[in-house]
Structure 1
Amino acid sequence: MNAIVNGREAMPGNEQMVVEQEEGHHDSSHFGLSILEQMVMVVLNHRYLVLSIVAGALVLGLLLTFIATPQYTSTARIEILPDAPVSTSVEGQRDRSLVNEVSFYNTQYSLLESRSLAERVVRAGNLTANEEFLRVFKLENPEGNLSSAQRQSLTTNAATVLLDRLKVSPVRASSLVDVSFSTPSPELSAKLTDLWVTQFVQSSIDRRFAATSDARKYLETRLDTLRQNLETSERGLINYATSRGIVTISARKDANGNTESDTLVGSDITEISRALARAREQRIIAEADLSSSLTGAGLVNGQALASLRQRRADVEAELARLRTTFGEEYPAVVSLRAQLAALDRSLSAEMGRSSQGNREAYNAAVKRERQLQSELDELTNKYNVQQRDSIQLAILQREVDSNRQLYDGLLQRYKEIGAAGVGTNNISIVDRAKVSAVPSSPNLQLNLVLALLPGLIIAFGLALFLERMDSSVRDPQEVSGRFGLPLLGAIPESLGQDVADAIVDKKSTIYEAYFSVMTNLTFLTEHGAPRSIMLTSSRPKEGKSNSSLSVATVLAATGKSVILVDADVRNPSLNRYLDIPMKRGLSHYLAGDDHVDEMIMPLTKFGFSIITAGKKPPNPAELLGSERLEQLIEQLLTRYDHVLIDAPPLLGLADAPLIAQRVEGVLFVIEANVTKGRAVATALNRLRMSGARIFGAIVTKVGAKNQAYGYGYGYGYGYGYGNDTRDED
């Protein structure tokens, strides 16, 4: 025989492999769908509660929609460009910072929803005196003269009302913003929307104007201060230059904007240096001419001397030519000799005069050079003194340049602000608000959806809470983990048919389910199904008697001889259920009647015999605890293959533990979805304390609530579900 391990029957060979594969497939499918299926089952198990709550939420949403005041919405669209306001910062005063675009737009949205803007709109539209505004929002109409505090209180209240009705909606991925108001009056909604965007644009202009005005005032103050500083520094520079005799004849700017000055002394030194260089050149030339005149080499360059020498050469050549032809006395020769002598005298006289002129020119050049050198030395000494003074002069000049740069920069900014003014604005109105022809709320469909969502949440939450609070057996497989019992079978609810009628039909799902129980029973002991079995439950009407009847029928169908004993002598039910007469039965035997044959009643329809409970005794526990019960069971086992005892429920009674000691083992019946886990655990503890052997559990009345656990419609028997026509015990 195969044993049951962990609540599962061990099958030989290929049969066990097939079962394990099928169970593995079922487990994986259950793992993937259990959460969703259990959520659905929670709703189905409490469907009436869920439907009631959802219906109530929908009715509430419908009522609120009908009693709500219609609201009309008007929308205006504005454009906000990321343009920073007028900046008053200049280099050396403030650091120029870039405006972060996200921060800029968040600031603008906050300004659109600011209380100051709301109060500005109230004042601009004189809303505290507007009868329509006061009537729509049910504000008090001021009468008579009001104090400033009362007027401010009215303005604050009106601003609060406006902020409650305002909606600012930035258009995604753009610089556009929609501003909306919803009121019971379409005209008032359009008016408030237009007032709001108009005042927002105007407030932006006012802020820019205020910023410009403040900037101009600030710049005027700074310009006056810088002007005085510049004048003071320039006056100090001039006074210092005058006191030191520093005469500036020109000034220029370098690459850094600093002033570089040319003084008179520096200019004179430049001119004297040039004149000295020219005088030195003339002296050198005169000295060379003088040297040439003294050596006779330099006279050849004189024009007069050159002419005389040329004439002398010509005369001397002509004289030489004539001498070769004529004698010394030839008149022409004599004449030429006389001319040659005259030319020699002229050359000597001219050479004397040239040497004297060169000496005078040389002396004059030397004198000029000496005068210029002396004047240059004097200017150089004076320039050196001024160079030492120019250090302080340069410091004063840099101070003047710095003050002038600050003054010029600030003056340029002042001119820019004056030229720009506040003519441009980075906020403009794109679309004005229009009077709405149809109300924007209440929206019946939206309100029903909004009512449905919390209704569903509340209904599901309450159903889930009730489900968590329910400790009954939902998943038949739980009996193994929760109570330490093998699951011998899960019995479906009967659909419009008595179990007594369904069990005799071998094609019925009831028969198939109990046949599976009987099959599992064959693996419980070494000799097959236990010969003496007691069936009990924790409380009445869990299907214990039906299970006794069905197990007996299925065992008898296999060819076994079976007898069923109704041991519930306090509240017998099998005789009523099977519609058989209550004559002599178990209570009579326990009381001393030994005519067992007269107590046995064959049930041809079911294939087994039965001993009814008999007459209700005054002391059931004493009778059931006597040795007579054990003797009866031993006597019946000699005549029948199996003895089944339908015992009373456990809770509150001592009957079942007393009977359990007389049989081979116990089958514990649990009604699905009804019997609480604590009751089952208590009953099982009582059985175990009595020393009874518990073979396993049978879970009865498995229905549609158990579909999520792999039972019900998906169990494999093709179960149909419905309400039973009579209570089962």
Structure 2
Amino acid sequence: MVSATDADYGVQDEPSGVAIVEQLWTAALSHRNLAIGVILGALLLGLLATFLATPQYRSTARLEILPDAPVATSVEGQRDKALVNEISFYNTQYSLLQSESLAERVVRAGNLLSDKDFLTAFKMENVDASMSSAERRNLNGDAVGILLDRLSVSPVRNSSLVDVAFATPSPRLSAKLANLWGQQFQQASIDRRFAATSDARKYLEARLQTLRRNLESSERSLINYGMSKGIVTISSQTGADGRTQTQTLVASDIAGISAALSKAREERIAAEAQLANEMSGIAAVNAPTIGALRQKRAELQAELAQQRTIFADDYPAVASLRAQIANLDRSIAAETARSSQGNREAYQASVRRERDLQNELDNLTQRYNKQQRESIEMAILQREVDSNRQLYDGLLQRYKEIGAAGVGTNNISVVDAAKIADRPSSPRLILNVALALLAGIGLAGGLIFALEKIDSSVRDPQDVGVRFGLPLLGAIPEVSGHPAELITDKKSAIYEAYFSLMTNLSFLTTHGAPRSIMLTSSQPREGKSNSSLCLATVMAGVGKSVILVDADVRNPSQNEYLGIPNKLGLSHYLAGDDNIDAMIAELPKHGFSIITAGKVPPNAAELLGSERLDDLIAELLKRYDHVLIDSPPLLGLADAPLIARRVEGVLFTIEANATKQRPISNALIRLRMSGAKIFGAIVTKVGARNQAYGYGYGYGYGFSYGKEEQKG
């Protein structure tokens, strides 16, 4: 309800928050017949399609597809790259499994164009010898299209496995096609490998022949140059960088002579040192033989000294010892002389050997230096040989690798062969019914949604404030029966609704409810005539003197609602008859008075625009507390704007769920242009569709105004 302050200042009510589920449920209830029809139709179509469909038998073959070169690394970036490469590899394989080229291989391998099961299952013509090549191609293309349509490729999650399935009217044909597909996919992979390696091998063979000729030519040039310059190579060694290190005869001789010279020099130095020691007496002492003799003499000399302490010099033992010592002295002298001569001879020999070796080394060095100057060109030729050999060896290794890859194991294998199905895989009655039910529900929901979006009528009575700038003064429920009869029952929902409307009217002005009120609507049959009658009854029921004027002179209805004659009324007064008392009819049952519309005039707009209508309203306000005028609808007529200027204000009646937004907006524009004051709106026929907004009243009334409502 709207307070006086809201109405006076044109405050618009905010729309009440309604759960979307409630709105959906209300919309479904409002269009339940449509929804039920659509769902039943979808179910019927689903059942019909199920029973008319040809049974299909599905067979599945499982393949294993391994990557060609799996990458195993712990580096994060490399792992991501390997994962991307693997995903790309498997996506490629899945696309190849569904390629037309593979389908053509299957058609040829299985000889499907002559297979009776295949031709019968898909109603195709048999290949005839009289067919042209174009007809054969068309027939082959049809077979390929059929295979691709019936093919199903399903990768097994988180594995290298993939299922290849076919569904056809023949269980044997389905198994045959699935197995053929897997076998031909495996064979196609092998064929692609051999085709790739074959091309590469042909190219490498041609390159190897060219490189072999280049290597032979460069080696021949190197050998010829060495022979012409007298460069004898005795050894060669290829390093890690591919370069060849050679050793010539001269270099080998120099190395040998250098080693011999070093040894001779060492021997000469040793002999020279020995000779020097001899001159200083050290050599004699150090000589082993002489040392042993001197040791023996010392022992005999000691023994002689001991014997002399006991015996005389002529004692035989003492004489024998002196004789032995004398012999040892002679031996030592002879040995010392012999050792000195040998040392001098060894020294002289070592000096000669050293000199000879030095001379030989000098000669070889001269020869080597000459060869070094001549070997610059030889080094160039050697580098060319090394380069040609590296190219040849690398290409030869690649040639061998390609040959090994061409005969390697295939990365595709058949894990499980397809088996003949023992029961149809489709159609599936329960699934089809469920899908049809879902489709029906979805279609019904879509239609209801479209209808709801197209419908711009007032659903939530509070929307009149937001959409039209009108305060909501009352929401009237739809009822079963005539309002003129129901309004007299103060326990009825319609009485409560109009009593609430009257209460809101009492807050609109400082003197209470407006004394002169016009009720109108945008178009006929929105309930403004019934609202006029019911409001007059409720106001009269609280002790007010009320008169209702039926100003719809073109289509009078109040006399029919109340069952009274329409002989003398408003049209007569506006035409010049001043007998107001004869026009007023008392209604004891409802408690108010009424002036009917009277005879339908030919010029209704002229009569309603005359000053006599002002006089009538002024006279009635002197006699009654409230004057209610039931005016014609606004659209298409000038009557309502003419009347609106002569009353205190207007109550605009809107039928819920029926009247569109555009007619209401246009009618309100016309009213406002006439200068009328619009108190607010009355929303009529609020029913079950409005329960979600809190306006259903919960009484389950079904609205039916009867025949008379069509004139409201």
1:536 aligns with 2:520: yes
1:124 aligns with 2:109: yes
SS at match of 1:202: helix
Specify the alignment match of 1:526 in structure 2: 510
Specify the alignment match of 2:544 in structure 1: 560
Change (3 A) 1:487 1:238: same
Q: CA deviation at 1:530?
A: 0.8
Specify the alignment match of 1:650 in structure 2: 634
Distance (Å, rounded) in 2 between the aligned partners of 1:75 and 1:307: 106
Distance (Å, rounded) in 2 between the aligned partners of 1:99 and 1:665: 77
Q: How does 1:2-13 map to 2 (within 5 A)?
A: 3-5=4-6
Specify the alignment match of 2:149 in structure 1: 164
Distance (Å, rounded) in 2 between the aligned partners of 1:418 and 1:181: 37
Specify the alignment match of 2:625 in structure 1: 641
SS at match of 1:177: strand
Q: How does 1:208-607 map to 2 (within 5 A)?
A: 208-252=193-237, 254-256=239-241, 258-291=243-276, 358-389=343-374, 392-397=377-382, 399-401=384-386, 403-404=388-389, 407-408=392-393, 411=396, 422=407, 424-448=409-433, 450-451=435-436, 459-494=444-479, 496-582=480-566, 584-607=568-591
SS at match of 2:654: strand
Distance (Å, rounded) in 1 between the aligned partners of 2:306 and 2:523: 181
Q: Alignment partner for residue 695 of structure 2, among 697, 702, 712?
A: 712
SS at match of 2:58: strand
Specify the alignment match of 2:78 in structure 1: none
The answer to whether the 8 A contact 1:712-1:719 is kept is: no
The answer to whether the 8 A contact 1:79-1:177 is kept is: yes
Change (3 A) 1:369 1:674: closer
The answer to whether the 8 A contact 1:223-1:410 is kept is: yes
Mark the runs of 5 or more structure 1 residues left unpaired by the alignment.
11-19, 86-96
Q: Alignment partner for residue 682 of structure 2, among 684, 698, 701?
A: 698
Give the residue type in structure 2 aligned to 1:142.
V
Q: Alignment partner for residue 173 of structure 1, among 158, 166, 172?
A: 158
Specify the alignment match of 2:701 in structure 1: 721
The answer to whether the 8 A contact 1:602-1:610 is kept is: yes
The answer to whether the 8 A contact 2:517-2:648 is kept is: yes
Change (3 A) 1:45 1:276: same
Specify the alignment match of 2:177 in structure 1: 192
1:683 aligns with 2:667: yes
| TM-align CA RMSD | 4.3
The answer to whether the 8 A contact 1:75-1:434 is kept is: yes
- The percent of aligned pairs where both chains have the same amino acid is 67
1:202 aligns with 2:187: yes
Distance (Å, rounded) in 2 between the aligned partners of 1:44 and 1:548: 31
TM-score by length of 2: 0.83
Give the aligned length: 696
Give the residue type in structure 1 aligned to 2:102.
L
Q: CA deviation at 1:516?
A: 1.6
Q: CA deviation at 1:254?
A: 4.3
Q: CA deviation at 1:113?
A: 1.6
Distance (Å, rounded) in 1 between the aligned partners of 2:232 and 2:470: 122
Higher mean C-alpha deviation, range 71-80 or range 52-61: 52-61
SS at match of 1:428: strand
Higher mean C-alpha deviation, range 343-352 or range 593-602: 343-352
Change (3 A) 1:454 1:341: closer
Give the residue type in structure 2 aligned to 1:526.
T
Higher mean C-alpha deviation, range 347-356 or range 248-257: 347-356
The answer to whether the 8 A contact 2:244-2:386 is kept is: yes
Q: CA deviation at 1:487?
A: 1.9
Distance (Å, rounded) in 2 between the aligned partners of 1:187 and 1:449: 30
Specify the alignment match of 1:16 in structure 2: none
The answer to whether the 8 A contact 2:475-2:695 is kept is: no
SS at match of 2:64: strand
Q: Alignment partner for residue 109 of structure 1, among 88, 94, 113?
A: 94
Q: CA deviation at 1:262?
A: 4.1
Higher mean C-alpha deviation, range 311-320 or range 185-194: 311-320
Mark the runs of 5 or more structure 2 residues left unpaired by the alignment.
71-81
The answer to whether the 8 A contact 2:7-2:680 is kept is: no
- The one-character-per-residue Cα deviations of 1:315-347 (angstroms, maximum 9, x if unpaired) are 999899999x999x9999999999999999999
Distance (Å, rounded) in 2 between the aligned partners of 1:597 and 1:350: 191
Specify the alignment match of 1:673 in structure 2: 657
Distance (Å, rounded) in 2 between the aligned partners of 1:473 and 1:319: 159
Change (3 A) 1:7 1:358: same
Q: CA deviation at 1:724?
A: 1.0
Give the residue type in structure 2 aligned to 1:629.
L
- The one-character-per-residue Cα deviations of 1:453-496 (angstroms, maximum 9, x if unpaired) are 565555544544444444433332333333332221111101x2
Distance (Å, rounded) in 1 between the aligned partners of 2:305 and 2:433: 151
Give the residue type in structure 2 aligned to 1:200.
F
Change (3 A) 1:243 1:697: same
